[in-house]
Structure 1
Amino acid sequence: MEKTIINPWQWQDKRSYVQAVEVKHVESTLYISGQTAINPDGISSNEDMKSQLIQALQNLEQVISEAGYECKDIVRLNIYTTSTAELWPHFDIFQDWIAKHDIKQSLTLLEVKSLFETLKVELEATVVK
C-alpha cells in the first residue's frame, strides 16, 4: 500500500488531521460502523463526555485490531458529537490517541442533535492495508 498526504496548508497539523489522503495499491479496506461508549454487554454509557470518548476510542481500536488492521492505517475518521462544547475540553485525549498511533487521516467533525440512547460521541473510520 502507498499513502500520500495532501496538505496545502499547515494549520490543520495542530488539529490532528490532514486535508486528504490518497491511497494506492490497497490490499483491503475496512469500513467501521460508528463506535461509541457501549460496553461488551451492549449497554450504552451514561457517563460524561470524557469517559465516553475514551471508551469509544478503545472500542474503535479493538475492532481495528480484531479485524487484523492497525490504527496507523486509518485514512478517514468521522466524529459525531451531541455537543462540541462538551467535546473540546477533552479533544487532547483524541489528539494524544492520534499521535500515539501516528495516524494521518482525513477528518470530519459534526455536531448532531442526538445519538443512540445516552451516547454523546461516535467515531466512524475507514482503514486500509
Structure 2
Amino acid sequence: MTTTTITGGPVRTDPVRINPSTWNLALGFDQAQVRTAPTTLLTLAGQGPVDGDGRLVHAGDLTAQVALAVRNVEELLEAAGFTVADVLSLTVHTTDVDGVLANYHLITERLAPATPPATLVGVARLALPGMAVEITVQAGR
C-alpha cells in the first residue's frame, strides 16, 4: 500500500522487502524491511489471551489463545488509529513453540497482506499461569 498526502503531512510508502532466501515467505514474514522513518510510532505491550479485565481466557487451548492474542493486538491498533498495514515488527513469546508454529497461520492471515519481520521466542513461563502466548508489536506511520 502506497499513500501520500498532498497537504505536506506524513508520507507512507510500501516497505522494501529484503529476503536473501525464501524459506520465511511460507511463514508470512520478511527477514527485513526498509521503510521511510515513521512520524508516529506505536509500541504495544505484550498482548495475550486475556479478557477486558485482564483474566486469562482459553487456558489449555493454544489455538484459541493465539487467535485472541492477535485480536487484542488488532483492537489496540484500531484504538490508536492504526491498521495491521502499519505493523513494523512483531515478537511472539510462547511456552509452546511447536504449537504456535502449527497455529502461526492465525497470525499471518490476520496481518495479511502485511509481512512484517517477526521473531518467535520460546520461554519457560508467561505472566499468567496457563498463558501460552503473548505478542508484542511495533507499528508506525
Give your verdict on TM over 0.5: yes
SS, match of residue 64 in structure 2? helix
Question: Between Structure 1 and Structure 2, whose CA radius of gyration is higher?
Answer: 2
Give the corresponding residue for 2:31: 19
Using the alignment, how far apart are the partners of 1:110 and 1:47 within structure 2?
19
The CA deviation string for residues 25-75 of structure 1, in whole angstroms up to 9 with x for no partner, is 422111111100110011112241011111101000000010011111111
Give the corresponding residue for 2:88: 75
Runs (5+) with no aligned partner, structure 1: none
Give the corresponding residue for 1:98: 111
1:6 to 18, 21, 43: 18
SS, match of residue 44 in structure 2? strand
Runs (5+) with no aligned partner, structure 2: 1-11
Equivalences for residues 1-129 of structure 1 within 5 A: 1-2=12-13, 3-45=15-57, 46-99=59-112, 102-117=113-128, 118-129=130-141
**Contact 2:108 2:115 survives alignment (8 Å):** no
Return the structure number with greater strand share: 1
Number of aligned residue pairs: give it: 127
SS, match of residue 103 in structure 2? helix
Return the structure number with greater helix share: 1
Give, in angstroms, the shift of residue 14 of structure 1.
0.5
SS, match of residue 25 in structure 2? helix
TM-score (norm 2): 0.84
Higher mean alpha-carbon deviation, 40-49 vs 60-69, is at: 40-49
RMSD of the TM alignment (CA)? 1.3
Q: Give the aligned residue type for 1:24.
A: T
Moved over 3 A (4+): none
SS, match of residue 91 in structure 2? strand
TM-score (norm 1): 0.91
Higher relative contact order (CA closer than 8 Å, sequence separation 6+): 1
Higher mean alpha-carbon deviation, 57-66 vs 45-54, is at: 45-54
Using the alignment, how far apart are the partners of 2:89 and 2:100 within structure 1?
19
Aligned-residue sequence identity (percent) comes to 23
